[in-house]
Amino acid sequence: MDSISASLAAVSWDKLEERYKVLSDELLSPSIDQKKRSALQKEFSHLSELLELYKKIQGLEAELDGVRKQKAESVDSEYAALLDEEEVSLKQQIAESGFELEKLLFPPDELDNRSVFLEIRAGTGGQEAALFAGDLARMYTLYAPKKNWRISVASESPTDLGGFRDIVLHIEGKNVYGHLKQEAGVHRVQRVPSTETQGRIHTSTATVAVFPEADEVEFTINPSDLRIDVYRASGAGGQHVNTTDSAVRITHIPTGVVVACQDERSQHKNKAKALKELQSRLYSTHKEKQDAEMAAQRKEQVGSATRSEKARTYNYPQNRVTDHQAEITLNKLDIIMEGNLDDILEPLMKKDLEERRKKALSTNF
C-alpha cells in the first residue's frame, strides 16, 4: 500500500463528514461573533475541499474498477487496447488527485512561506571555526539565487583572516523558512586548517539559527523596552560608512537580545531592518516556548526545539558531507559548498512531510 492509499485508509471520513455538517449549521447562526465565524469558515472551507477531492477519487476508483471488469470480459483486442489506455489515464488522475489530497490532509507549517534571518556563529575551534562560519555564509549566499531569493547581510563581525565571529543573513523570498528551518543546529567541519603547520586534521564547529520573519500584527514590541545605540559602520561601502553614525544596535532590555545592522548607508533604514530582525528573533523565541510546552504535553520532541543537536558534518579530506537529521551521506562536499544544497534539503523536506503525516493521522483523524 502506497503512502496515499495508507493516508486515505487511516482517515475517518464519516467523522469529517459529520464535522462538516455541524459547521454548516453553526455558520447559519447569526449569534456567533466575527472572530469565531472567521475561524469556523476557514475550517469549513478546508473540509469542503477535502471531502470534494475525496469523493472525486472515489468516483475515479469506481470507474477504474469498471474498466478492469470490462477488460476481463472483453474478447475484442481493439476494444481491450482502448480499455488499457483508459486504465492508464484513470490511474494517472487518481495519483494526481491523491497528491493534492495529501497536501490538504497534511498542510505545511504556516510559517514555511516566510522569509528568514539566518544567523551563523563560530563555535569551538578559534580562527578555524570563524573561517568555517564564513564558508557556511558563502554556501547559503550561493544557494539563495538558485531559488530566486534575495539575500543581504544584516550584520557581521569579521575576523582578520577573513572569517566571521558571527554573521546574520536576511533571506527574502518564497518558502524560505520551509527550505531552511532544519538547517538550525551545530554544523561540524573536519579538515586541515590553513593555520595548521603540521598537516593535522582539526574538528571545529559553527552554529546556525533560523528565525522566520515575523509580521508586525503577530508580535509587537514596546518601544520603552528598547535601548538604541548608533555608531560608525565598518566594512564595504566606501568612506561614507566610516564618517557617519549610520550603524544601529538595538537591545531588548527584558530579554537581553541584541541585534545590529550596518548594511544600509541610512541610519533610518538600518534601524528599520534591525527592528525587523529583533521582532523575528523574539517571535521565534516565543514560538519555541509554545512548541516546548506542546512537546511536553505530547511527550515527543518538537523540531524547532532541537537547535542544539548536531545537524551536519563536513569532512573535507574525504569530500564527504553527512546530514544527521536526514541520515544521508553524500560524497560531493565540494559541490555542496558551492551552494548546491537541494540534494540535502529535499530529503529533509520529505522527512518533514512524513512527520506531518504521522502527527496528523495520530491526532486529527
For 111-153, the pLDDT digits (tens) are 888 999 999 999 999 999 999 999 999 999 999 999 999 999 9
Residue type, 291: D
* Interval 293-327: pLDDT, tens: 544 543 332 233 233 458 999 999 999 999 999 99
Q: How far apart are CA 146 and CA 70, in angstroms?
A: 50
The C-alpha R_g of the chain, in whole angstroms, comes to 26
State mean pLDDT over 164-169.
Answer: 95
Can you give the pLDDT at residue 298? 37
What pLDDT was estimated at residue 91? 93
* Residue, of 210 and 197, whose pLDDT is higher: 210
Residue 40, pLDDT score? 92
Q: Which of 46-50, 261-265, 285-289, 336-340 has the highest mean pLDDT?
A: 336-340
* Residue tagged 532544519 (cell numbers): 182
Nearest to residue 302, comparing CAs of 352, 363, 350, 348? 352
> The whole model's pTM is what?
0.63
Residue 2 is predicted with a pLDDT of: 58
How do residues 77-91 score in pLDDT, each as one tens digit?
Answer: 888 889 999 999 999
Q: Distance between CA 121 and CA 123 in Å, rounded?
A: 6
What digits encode the pLDDT tens for the residues 9-67?
667 888 889 999 999 999 999 888 888 898 899 889 989 998 999 999 999 999 999 99
Domain boundaries, given as residue ranges, for the chain: 3-105, 116-219+263-359
The type of residue at 247 is A
Residue partners of 185: CB distance under 8 A and separation at least 6? 207, 208, 306, 307, 308, 309, 310, 311, 312, 325
The count of other CB atoms within 10 Å of the CB of residue 96 is 12
Which residue in this structure is represented by grid cell 522569509?
Answer: 115
Task: Output the pLDDT for position 300.
Answer: 34
pLDDT confidence band for 282 (50 / 70 / 90): confident
Q: Where are the alpha helices (DSSP H) in the chain?
A: 3-10, 13-27, 34-73, 77-105, 126-146, 176-180, 240-243, 267-298, 333-336, 342-363
Question: 3-105 and 116-219+263-359: same fold?
Answer: no
Fold of 116-219+263-359: Alpha-Beta Plaits (3.30.70)
DSSP track, 311-333:
EEEEETTTTEEEETTTTEEES-H
Q: Which CATH number fits domain 3-105: 1.20.58, 1.10.390, 3.30.1490, 1.10.1060?
A: 1.20.58
3-state secondary structure of 247: strand
What amino acid occupies position 276? Answer: K
The x, y and z cell numbers of residue 35, run together, are 472572530
What does each C-alpha distance from 252 to 68, 154, 255 come to in angstroms?
67, 17, 6
What is the pLDDT, as a whole number, of residue 172? 95
Three-class secondary structure of residue 301 per DSSP: coil
Place of cell 575576523: 159
207-245 per-position pLDDT tens digit:
999 988 876 555 678 889 999 998 877 654 444 445 567
Spatial separation of the C-alpha atoms in residues 339 and 341, rounded to whole Å: 6
Determine the Cα–Cα distance for residues 117 and 279; give it in Å rounded to an integer.
Answer: 11
Show the cell assigned to 267.
541610519
Provide the pLDDT for residue 276: 86
- Ramachandran bin of 303, using left for φ above 0, alpha for ψ from -120 to 50, beta for the remaining angles: alpha
Q: What is the structure's pLDDT at 293? A: 56
- What pLDDT score does 6 carry? 63
CB-based contact 353:3 (threshold 8 Å): no
